[in-house]
Chain A
Amino acid sequence: MKTALITGISGQDGSYLAEFLLNLGYRVCGMDLDFDPVKHSYLAAIQEKIEFIKGDLRDSDSVDRVLEASRPDEIYSLASQSNVALSLKKPYLTADVTAMGTLRLLESARRITPSARFFQASSSEIFGNPEESPQTEDTPRSPRNPYGWAKAYAQEMVKVYREEQDLFACSAICYNHESPRRPETFVTRKITRAAARIKLGLENRLVLGDTTAEKDWGFAGDYVEAFWLMLQQTEPDDYILATGRAHTVEDFCRTAFEALGLDFQEFIEIDQAFFRDWETRPLIGNPGKARNQLGWKSKTGFVDLVHLMARADLEALQQPNQA
């Protein structure tokens, strides 16, 4: 039986990955700052099967202890301060957790479990204002916010440990991947939650920023399979994980409201204050390398994804203790 250590197990990706690995028969250890079963109800079903280990990426000794306690064959580095807007307010915290935290984990792994395979969740935010669209693994980095800076640092560090220290270490450059487990700080979940509340008469409008912004949105449940696949290859490498298809925020709204039998135009308000001043060329990924080398593709289409999220929000609100 293989052991996997997942940092950030209570996040969206961590929970899907934990379910996926448990189904494959892995022993799953989860590192997190704290574990609050009420806050993360979607982990409730598998909670008993996961070994939770308290650890803080800001502290090397704590990272050492987590590796010693878990002795993993595979390390999935998912923990991050992943909110872009918060990263603008807290650039130092973001760097300490997301950039330095990854380095601390790599360095502890090199010393304590050098044969463990290492997966790093990188982000399309490393491209920021890209020279080309769609982007490939070779598109030059030009991160445009502290989250992107930190992810770019972490990914370069993973490569340095792979090339110079022979660690089996890979980064996935993940484009937006959503699910009903996304927090509402992300625009997708904000939209589907609002559509459900409007449907139930709990609200009557939704305020958004630039709805013409184009994104590459996939389903998180599909993406975690690629995380695992990357660590099963003969050689470690970096891959873009994306759908390759662009949809606007407006497309997302229309589809979400349609899923619940509503017309989005009756409820949307545009507020200039929500515009980010440096949104430029769209971040659209070319998933060709992952398709050819891993045999992976994003299975869930855009409409299915949005419907899944809108219906999940409606169902959750209809639970007696939620509304």
Chain B
Amino acid sequence: MSFVPTSWNQPVLTGEFTALGVTRILEAIRVVDPTIRYYQASSSEMFGKVREVPQNEKTPFHPRSPYGVAKAYGHWITVNCRESYGMFCCSGILFNHESARRGSEFVTRKISNAAARIKLGMDRTLGLGNLDAERDWGYAGDYVKAMWLMLQQEQPSDYVIATGKAHSVRDCCEVAFSHLGLDYEDYVITDPRFMRPAEVDHLLGDSSKARKELGWEPEVSFEEMIAGMVDADIERNQRRKDGVTAGT
């Protein structure tokens, strides 16, 4: 249950999956085989209304959504199972990580998909919330390597995984549309319906611990990632368009 606005529509369900689910898994590991190594997908949403910029593993949490609270709970219990039961548990505090496989409700994918559909003449406009909202966006393919690396270490620990670079929703639009030779300003309209009740601010990750201890660093740049997402959406929408045309 990782889409933040949904967590306000269904806070109890979000807690049951995202918080209670972790309790169930860790308890099962403890009972069945405590040597199983466990990776917990934690989230930068735990920092919410941030106490410092950038955020590292020691930054106190200030979540601003039921999803952020549930993730904070998952993090605490992962740390506690490691420290009290000696289990090999790691919490990866991942900042936003995107790809062509992102659900279309996430803003990066919404933009890449809309840019592709506009280019192909399937749509005319794109409605977005706050264009100045900034995020630390990395490439999901890079981030899963960090997850695996954490479980290959001698000692379990917690790591912030981030690019350390902030980009705005506007930047994302610019890259996506210009990759197709379009000017985003001709198509993007701001729509108050998409403004989130609580915009998290200045989420920017400091992943120096992961870089030092895991030897991890992001390989795909923001521009490459968005361009790749747009290409994938062009291909997918082109197929759909051709399919529809062929069928008529």
In the complex, chain A residues whose CB is within 8 Å of the CB of B15 = 99-100, 103, 153
Q: Mark B20-39, 1 if CB is under 8 A from A, else 0.
A: 10011001000000000000
Give chain A interface residues in 94-150, CB to chain B under 8 Å: 95-96, 99-100, 103-104, 107, 128-129, 140-146, 149
User: Any chain A CB within 8 A of the CB of B205?
Assistant: no
- Give chain A's interface secondary structure class: helix
A12-20, A27-35, A156-164, A263-271: which lies at the interface: A156-164
How far apart are A219's CB and chain B's nearest CB, in angstroms?
30
Of the candidate stretches B77-85, B126-134, B173-181, B224-232, the one touching chain A is B77-85
Chain B residues whose CB sits within 8 angstroms of the CB of A186 once the complex forms: none
B201 within 8 A of A: no
- Can you list, as one digit per residue, whether each of B56-83 has a CB less than 8 Å from chain A (1) or not (0)? 0000110111101110110011011001
* Residue from the list A103, A146, A156 in contact with B63, Cβ < 8 A: A156
Residues of chain A with a CB closer than 8 A to B77's CB: 146, 149
What is the size, in residues, of chain A's interface with B at 8 Å between Cβ atoms? 30
Q: Is the CB of B19 within 8 A of A164?
A: no
B12 within 8 A of A: yes
**CB nearest neighbor in A for B70:** A153
Question: Is A107 a contact of B73 with CB atoms below 8 Å?
Answer: no
> A278 — which chain B residues lie within 8 A by C-beta?
83-84
Interface size in chain B (residues, C-beta < 8 A): 29
* Set of chain B residues within 8 Å of A100, measured between Cβ atoms: 12, 15-16, 19-20
Give which listed residue, B12, B19, B65, contacts A95 with CB less than 8 A.
B19
In the complex, are the beta carbons of A107 and B11 less than 8 A apart? yes
Residue contact B76 to A164, C-beta cutoff 8 Å? no
Q: Which of B76-105 contact A (CB under 8 A)?
A: 76-77, 79-80, 83-84
Would B61 and A160 count as touching, CB distance under 8 A?
no
Q: In residues 203-224 of chain B, which contact A (Cβ within 8 Å)?
A: none
Q: 7 interchain pairs (CB within 8 A)?
A: A95-B23, A99-B15, A103-B66, A145-B80, A149-B77, A164-B198, A277-B84
